[in-house]
Amino acid sequence: MHGLGNDFVVVDARTDPVAIDADRARAIADRHTGIGCDQIILIGPGSDTDVSMRIWNADGSEVAACGNATRCVPVLVGRDVSIRTAAGILHAALEGDGATVDMGKPSFDWNAIPLAYAMDTRALPLAWGELANPVAVNVGNPHVVFFVPDVHAVPLETLGPDIEYDLVFPERINVNIAHVLAPDHLVMRTWERGAGLTRACGTGACATFAAGRLLDLLAPSARLDLPGGSLRLAESGDGHLLMSGPATHVFTGEASL
Ligand SMILES: N[C@H](CCC[C@H](N)C(=O)O)C(=O)O
């Protein structure tokens, strides 16, 4: 499956348990010797929710949130679902050619990102080349957001890994750059922790929208254009991030890996 080109191998283990570890995740994700994907998604039975979801990046790191994959779950299951993740319970509802997901409330506490020491998360006093003073936010996973004049002029393929692995981010970090065209419209790109440049990052879109709202750059609802397509983000009355966009089921097959 994929969400705007951010592609996944989704293992449906709701009836039969499947064990995945870092090595197996890397083997599945390998685009030359495996199946190939940005993330591996393991769907299991839920105890207090309809299903559970675990997520591994292509580098084998297990993480707590994946926005584009969360939209794929109701499409796979065929109905609205509650999903238990390591970051909490999410609700995903079928809508149009994908779904709307309540991704919960963002956290801007430095120790919730986490950062190695206390800093102002509205504008970290840090710079990597031309990228400086990002917003830091956790939306189930950790992100920094840089607002720039032109996302296409930034060498994200070189600055991304420098930032991802900076020791100021004890759990590494997802790196987003965005330029605001209007209060309800921005363009963005993401270097993903554990996956690199992807065609879309759902949690990156959530983080970028939340950062734009924090800095009063964005209206309470906006369209975000990513390399693979557009997502709509809205802020609910109680500060939750509501993300809407497509989710595509490509094929279902048998594989022994
Ligand atoms: N690379 C992310 C996980 C996948 C996020 C992205 N695929 C999304 O749609 O949210 C991380 O390490 O937190």
Q: What is the DSSP letter of 76?
A: H
Domain presence at residue 179: yes
DSSP 38: S
The verdict on 221 and 171 lying in the same domain is: yes
The reply to whether 167 and 95 lie within a common domain is no
CB distance 7 to ligand 1 below 6 Å: no
157-173 tens-digit pLDDT = 999 999 999 999 999 99
Say whether both 139 and 232 belong to one domain: yes
Q: What gap in Å lies between CA 28 and CA 19, rounded to an integer? A: 13
Q: Determine if residue 202 is labeled as part of a ligand binding site.
A: yes
Token duo for residue 78: 């065929």
Question: Which CATH number do you get for residue 240?
Answer: 3.10.310.10
| Whether residue 57 has its Cβ less than 6 Å from ligand 1 | yes
CA distance 256 to 145: 39
Q: Is residue 133 part of a domain?
A: yes
Do 128 and 230 have their domain in common?
Answer: yes
- Pocket probe for ligand 1: among 37, 38, 41, 55, the residue whose CB has the most ligand atoms within 8 Å is 55
What pLDDT does 254 receive?
83
Tokens of 159: 């600055």
| Residue 39 lies inside a defined structural domain of this protein | yes
Is pTM, for the whole model, over 0.90?
A: yes
Same domain, 67 and 145: no
Per-residue confidence (pLDDT) for residue 7, from 0 to 100? 98
Encoding tokens for residue 161?
A: 């890994």
Regarding whether 137 and 213 lie in a shared domain, the answer is yes
In a domain, 35, yes or no: yes
Residues 17 and 82 in one domain: yes
Which of the listed residues 103, 137, 152 is the one where a domain comes to its end?
Answer: 103
Confirm whether 250 is domain-assigned. no
The alpha carbon of 14 and the centre of ligand 1 are apart by a number of angstroms equal to: 22
Catalytic residue among 37, 72, 201, 206: 201
Identify whether residues 94 and 42 lie together within a single domain.
yes
Count the domains in the chain: 2
Looking at 69, 103, 137, the residue that finishes a domain is 103
Each residue's pLDDT tens digit, 107-120 = 999 999 999 999 99
Domain boundary among 103, 135, 153: 103
Answer yes or no: do 118 and 237 share one domain: yes
Strands (E), 13-130: 39-45, 51-57, 62-63, 81-85, 88-95, 98-102, 127-128
Displacement of CA 166 from its chain's centroid (Å): 19
3-state secondary structure of 248: strand
How many whole angstroms from 69 Cα to the centroid of ligand 1?
9
Same domain, 147 and 209: yes
Q: What angle do CA 198, 37, 200 make, to 5 degrees?
A: 25
Q: How many Å is the maximal CA-CA distance in the chain?
A: 50
pLDDT at 100 over 80: yes
Alpha helices by DSSP H, the chain: 22-29, 67-77, 156-164, 202-214
CA dist 210 and 203 (Å) reads 10
Ligand 1 atom closest to 64 (CA): 13
**Catalytic (active site) residue 201:** yes
Task: Show the domain range for 67.
Answer: 2-103
pLDDT digits (tens, 9 = 90+) for 224-251: 999 999 999 999 999 999 999 999 999 9
Interface TM-score (ipTM) > 0.95:
no
Beta carbons within 8 Å of 255's beta carbon, 6+ residues apart: 35
Q: Is 80 exceeded by the pLDDT of residue 257?
A: no
